[in-house]
Amino acid sequence: MANSYTKAAFHLLVTAEEAAMLRLAERAVDILDTNGADEDLALGYDSLGTAFHALFPPRGASRFESFLDLFDDWSFPYLDCRIGLDAPDENGKVMAFFHGDQFGVEPVAKLIRIACPSALPCGFTWSSDCDRLRAGEFGGGAVVITADGIDWHSTTGILTRALLRAEDPGEGHDGYVLAVRSPEDNIAYWNNTDGLGALSSATVFRGDEAAGVNPLPFEDAAWLALPAPRHG
């Protein structure tokens, strides 16, 4: 018999309005935990107010389906974390403390992205461990949250890339970026949001993800597929 844990603890500075939304999200979880009939859940949804409704528009018979999109399993809509909120400071900012030993990494990250836009970009780390020394039970990862989406990084993935580099010192293990040379002999790099720009903003592709990128901006130009900058 052994117990496994997914742990995280981090602070996030948010606005007073965002802190109130975090409390409403906790209330929403409590309402859903009653397992009431759709009519009762809809009344609970209505009680959460217009600010909550704006972020999680009513959908479905229970009206909670937009909120339930935070969770992989709608039958178990739990954040699996505790959220402590300090009093607002002189600037109206609130320090939120997210912590738990069975932490809901994915739903919490999704909630932060939607409910705490002033804190973006941000991120947090998490760990997984066991109270017995079993192989494969220890690891963790990091989450990077931006307005555009969420990037998930795990120690397993980091180790896999490191081993690939050790076995094959060649480049390209972190994906590749697309570049094009202008008639003036300058190089610009493609990103899916703004088009051509600096290397720092380039979209990193893997496999055949870049197959739909077009058109080329200059006559007689050709895309250059270059190894992505190495991280870690």
Q: How far apart are CA 34 and CA 144, in angstroms?
A: 33
Please provide the average confidence, as pLDDT, over all residues in the chain. Answer: 90
CA triple 75-78-80, angle to 5 deg: 145
Least confident range of 26-40, 83-97, 163-177, 179-193: 163-177
Nearest to 29 by CA among 96, 99, 82, 101: 82
Q: What are the phi and psi torsion angles at 190 (to 5°)?
A: -85, 135
Q: What is the 3-state secondary structure (H, E, C) of 4-32?
A: EEEEEEEEEEEEHHHHHHHHHHHHHHHHH
Mean pLDDT, range 55-67, rounded to an integer: 98
Cα(59)–Cα(128) distance, integer angstroms = 35
pLDDT of residue 170: 65
Q: What is the sign of the dihedral through the CA atoms of 143, 144, 150 and 151?
A: negative
Task: Please report, as a single letter, which amino acid is at residue 178.
Answer: L
State how far the Cα of 112 lies from the Cα of 102, in Å rounded to an integer. Answer: 18
pLDDT reading at 173 higher than 80: no
Instruction: Dump pLDDT digits (tens) for 95-144.
Output: 999 999 999 999 999 999 999 999 999 999 999 999 999 998 899 999 99
Q: How does residue 22 score in pLDDT terms, banded at 50, 70 and 90?
A: very high
Give the three-state DSSP class for 122: strand
Q: What is the pTM of this model?
A: 0.79
pLDDT at 232 over 60: no
Q: Quick one: CA torsion of 88, 94, 95, 101, rounded to 10 degrees? A: 110
- Residue 164 clears pLDDT 90, i.e. is over it: no
How far apart (Å, rounded) are the C-alpha atoms in residues 65 and 49?
Answer: 16
pLDDT per position as a tens digit, 30-60 = 999 999 999 999 999 999 999 999 999 999 9
Note the pLDDT of residue 105: 98
pLDDT band (50, 70, 90) for residue 230 = low
What is the rounded (10 degree) CA torsion for 151, 152, 158, 160? Answer: -110
- State yes or no: pLDDT of 93 exceeds 80: yes
pLDDT in the model for residue 209: 79
Report how far Cα 80 is from the mean position of its chain's Cα atoms: 16
Average pLDDT over residues 188-196: 83
Residue 90 has pLDDT above 90, yes or no: yes
Q: How far is CA 26 from CA 71, 91, 190, in A?
A: 13, 25, 41
